[in-house]
Amino acid sequence: MGDKMIDHFDGEGVERESVSRIVIRRILKYIKEAELGPGDKLPSENELMEKMSVGRSSIREALHALVTIDILETKPGKGYYVKRKSNVFCLPGGSDLAEVLVEEQDFMSLVEVRRILEKKTAELAAKRATEEDVEQVHQVMDQIREAADKQRNISDVTVKLHLALAEATKNPIMVQLLDKIVPMIVTKARLMELPPEKDVEIHTGVAEALEKRDTEELKSWVDEHLDYLKNRFIKKVEKQKAEVGGD
């Protein structure tokens, strides 16, 4: 393990610019190149500090971020272990979704962009949706309820509803943009284990507002949904920080 670590970290120092992000990328690179899998242990904090030439706070911040998105897990008194490989989250162009979501501000930025796009989507969909579009949204809503009733993860189904709403705008660029952004946030939402009843409530509101062609109500549901996601994320991050700080 030690020799591998030297090979993969190359003993490079890290400058102050976005230190935690650089450390995160190096840890992710190490996991890949050392071919670590679920259950494999990472080097200790002291070893990481020595090889990366950064302080303990930067190491802990990076490790905490990777715990938050379920790439790593902590075992009290034992250290950090790989929980899943980061390449299960892959974006167009080969970038790791892990690198997009590891920092709190990154997630908040994604929510901000999604809010802008989805409120415009709501406005256009309310004006342009056909009866077929409304029926498609209701069909997806039935799938969401069925998944919730059977206690299945409904995140993937909710993506369909947001994309069906985008289709109703008749703007192919809007569909493409949301097709890239919504799955990023839904992946994160899956890790936050959102209560299915809340998802059902919000998406039912979206479907009913679209049927009424009520622009303001649609926008209101968009705000409620994204505010809820943001607040759940903040609570999860705070919990993870408390757990890591107590190790």
Give the mean pLDDT of 29-44.
89
Give the CATH number, domain containing residue 218. 1.20.120.530
Domain that includes residue 12, residue range: 2-91
> Is residue 59 in a domain?
yes
Own/partner long-range contacts of 66-72 (Cβ < 8 Å, ≥24 apart):
66/24, 66/27, 66/28, 66/98, 66/102, 67/240, 67/243, 67/244, 68/102, 68/191, 68/236, 68/237, 68/240, 69/98, 69/101, 69/102, 69/188, 69/191, 70/191, 71/28, 71/31, 71/98, 72/42
Measure the CA dihedral 39/42/44/49, to 10°: -160
Average pLDDT, whole number, for the chain? 81
> Is residue 127 in a domain?
yes
190 pLDDT band (50/70/90 cuts)? low
Q: Which of 91, 125, 140 is the last residue of a domain?
A: 91
Give the CATH number, domain containing residue 75. 1.10.10.10
Own/partner long-range contacts of 231-235 (Cβ < 8 Å, ≥24 apart):
232/189, 232/192, 232/194, 233/104, 233/107, 233/188, 233/192, 234/104
Same domain, 145 and 197: yes
For residue 221, give the nearest of 119, 147, 127 by alpha carbon.
119
> Is residue 97 in a domain?
no
Task: Give pLDDT, residue 200.
Answer: 95
CB burial of 103-124 (b: ≥16 within 10 Å; e: otherwise) equals: beebbeebbeebbebbbebbeb
Q: Which of 59, 91, 123 is the last residue of a domain?
A: 91
> Is residue 117 in a domain?
yes
pLDDT (tens digit per residue) in 70-125: 688 888 888 999 987 654 444 444 444 455 454 556 778 888 999 999 999 999 99
245 pLDDT band (50/70/90 cuts)? low
222 in Cβ contact with 115 (< 8 Å): yes
Task: Give pLDDT, residue 142.
Answer: 96
> Is residue 18 in a domain?
yes
Of 4-18, 20-34, 203-217, least confident by mean pLDDT is: 4-18
